Amino acid sequence: MRVVCPIIDGSGVEIYHQRLSLALSCLGVRTDILKFSPGWEYFPWLLPVAFHSSKLVKSDLIHSNIDYGSLFQIRGRPRIFTLHHSSIDEKHLSALPFPVRIHHRYVLKPLVKQAIDQADKLVAVSNYSRTVICELFQKDLPIQVIYNGVDAERFHPIKQQEKKGPLTLFFSGNPTYRKGVDLFEPVMKNLGKDFVLRYTTGLRNHRESMPSGNNIICLGSLTEDELIKEVNQAHIIFQPSRREGFGLSILEAMACGKPVVSTLATAIPEVLTNNKGGILCEPESVDQLVNAIRTLASSRDLREKMGRFNRENVLRHFTLKNMSIQYYHLYRELLDN
């Protein structure tokens, strides 16, 4: 079986397909990932011409993101479109710059509707993402939910020696408003010198207007090995997102046996169990985030207990193997029909 995946470069969707591809290879599935620059989002109608690769022609099936998946088609090839997070509902649009808002509303939204109409199968990475798209188009769409998974053998706890010094927080992902990057400075200012936040700049390595402070350290873009090391060296994972279609960075931290401070926003409570694997706060509440971090900082036993719960939760519900098996059966079903 040969699957081709046309995707936007430099996002969580890229990581998702890379990991899924690796897991599917163990099931005899060959996956070709076709990446296009984010700049093509503003000229989407040119994508079918610019990326009409021989890999598309030779594929048995096309698996893409719902945003631009409808633009890639080969006669007789089934298509699966996955919804990672909704970029077109009004709550998300209201926080975007005006030109981006216009593009999403009048270019991206029709493309998503087109994908819904054309898809042989629709998948969402969370119940939240499924609900949002159904409400947006006012239809009970036939969307299957397949949770993201993580390689729990690669992302695993690594015993650390206790070191003197400030307690370490860690954030991973593209540092954007959606991810709560603007909350870094007020939270760390409140926490003071006994805490330090280390954060990445994601796959796109965006460094303009980044948070700064005496207890804030920008690490830039990390390799996966470096990421695993940073997660394990941290005492608490800090992900103050306003919106998540799933929350892959949170899942990676859970697999490494770390407690997480995050928010009650969107899909996050489906992944992280409040007061068992971490503490979930109201979105944008600096006071709640600070208090949650201080609560975990005050008890090593509590951090370790939450970390163990998270690791066990991942092994039960969120492994990459389980995710890949579900997709394999889905591919097989479409091809057999």
Higher pLDDT, 295 or 161: 295
pTM: 0.93
Three-class secondary structure of residue 244 per DSSP: coil
Q: Where are the alpha helices (DSSP H) in the chain?
A: 12-25, 47-50, 54-58, 90-93, 98-103, 109-118, 127-137, 184-191, 224-233, 248-255, 268-271, 286-297, 300-317, 320-336
Is the per-residue pLDDT at 154 higher than 70?
yes
Q: What phi, psi does 247 have (nearest 5°)?
A: 120, 60
Q: What phi, psi does 90 have (nearest 5°)?
A: -65, -30
Q: How far is CA 46 from CA 52, 72, 78, in A?
A: 10, 11, 22
Cβ-based neighbour number of residue 98 at 10 Å = 7
- Lowest-pLDDT range, 43-57, 64-78, 218-232, 297-311? 43-57
Read off the DSSP letter of residue 17.
H
Nearest to 60 by CA among 29, 39, 17: 29
Q: Which residues of 210-223 are buried (b: 16+ CB within 10 A; e: fewer)?
A: ebeeebbeeeebbe
- For the segment 130-148, the average pLDDT, to the nearest whole number, is 95
Which of the four pLDDT bands, split at 50, 70 and 90, describes residue 90? confident
Q: Please report, for the chain, the start and end positions of each structural domain, with discontinuous segments joined by +.
A: 2-149+319-336, 167-317
- Find out whether 286 and 278 touch, Cβ atoms under 8 Å: no
206 CB-near residues (< 8 Å, 6+ apart) = 174, 175
17-47 pLDDT, tens digit per residue, is 999 999 999 999 999 999 888 888 888 888 8
Pairing relation of β-strands 61-65 and 260-263? unpaired
Tell me the two tokens of residue 26.
Answer: 């163990």
**Res 162: pLDDT:** 80
**Res 227: pLDDT:** 97
3-22 pLDDT, tens digit per residue, is 999 998 877 888 999 999 99
Three-class secondary structure of residue 318 per DSSP: coil
Q: How far is CA 328 from CA 36, 65, 112, 143, in A?
A: 25, 17, 24, 17
Nearest to 83 by CA among 10, 24, 145, 4: 145
Read off the DSSP letter of residue 95.
T
- For the segment 287-292, the average pLDDT, to the nearest whole number, is 98
Q: Is the dihedral of CA 127, 128, 130, 131 positive or negative?
A: positive
2-149+319-336 and 167-317: same fold? yes
CATH 3.40.50.300 fits 2-149+319-336, yes or no: no
**Res 204: pLDDT:** 62
CATH pick for 167-317 out of 3.40.50.300, 3.40.50.2000, 3.40.1280.10, 3.40.1190.20: 3.40.50.2000
Is the per-residue pLDDT at 244 higher than 90?
yes
Tell me the two tokens of residue 239.
Answer: 């992900």
Q: In the structure, how many helices (H) and strands (E) does the chain have?
A: 14, 12
Q: Which residues pair with 83 in a beta bridge?
A: 124
Dist. CA 123–CA 100, nearest whole Å: 25
Ramachandran region, residue 312 (left: φ > 0; alpha: ψ -120 to 50; beta: rest): alpha
Report the chain's mean pLDDT, rounded to a whole number.
93
**Res 207: pLDDT:** 58
Which of the four pLDDT bands, split at 50, 70 and 90, describes residue 224? very high
